[in-house]
Amino acid sequence: MPQKQKSRRSWLELKQAGNERFKTGQYGEASGLYSEAIRELEKASEKKPEDLAILYSNRAASYLKEGNCAECVKDCNMSLELQPFNVKSLLRRAAASEAQERYRLAYVDYKTALQIDCNIAAAHEGTNRMSKALTESDGPSWREKLPPIPTVPLSIREKLNQHTTNNILIPTQAQQQNGSREAKKKTPSEKNVKKAQAQKEEGNALVKKGEFRKAIEKYSQSIKNNPTEITTYTNRALCYLSVKQYSDAVRDCDDALMIDSGNIKALYRRAQAHKELQDPTCVDDLNNLLHVDPKNVAALKLLEEVQMMK
Q: Which domains does the chain have, with CATH numbers?
A: 10-163 (1.25.40.10), 191-309 (1.25.40.10)
**Mean pLDDT for the stretch of residues 17-24:** 91
| Across 12-26, 100-114, 135-149, 214-228, least confident range | 135-149
pLDDT above 60: residue 167: no
Which pTM does this prediction carry?
0.55
Q: What's the chain's Rg over C-alpha atoms?
A: 23
| Across 22-36, 67-81, 175-189, least confident range | 175-189
Give the max Cα distance, the chain: 85
The H or E element spanning position 267 is: helix 264-276
Work out whether the CA dihedral 132, 136, 142, 147 comes out positive or negative. Answer: negative
pLDDT digits (tens, 9 = 90+) for 55-105: 999 999 999 999 999 999 999 999 999 999 999 999 999 999 999 999 999
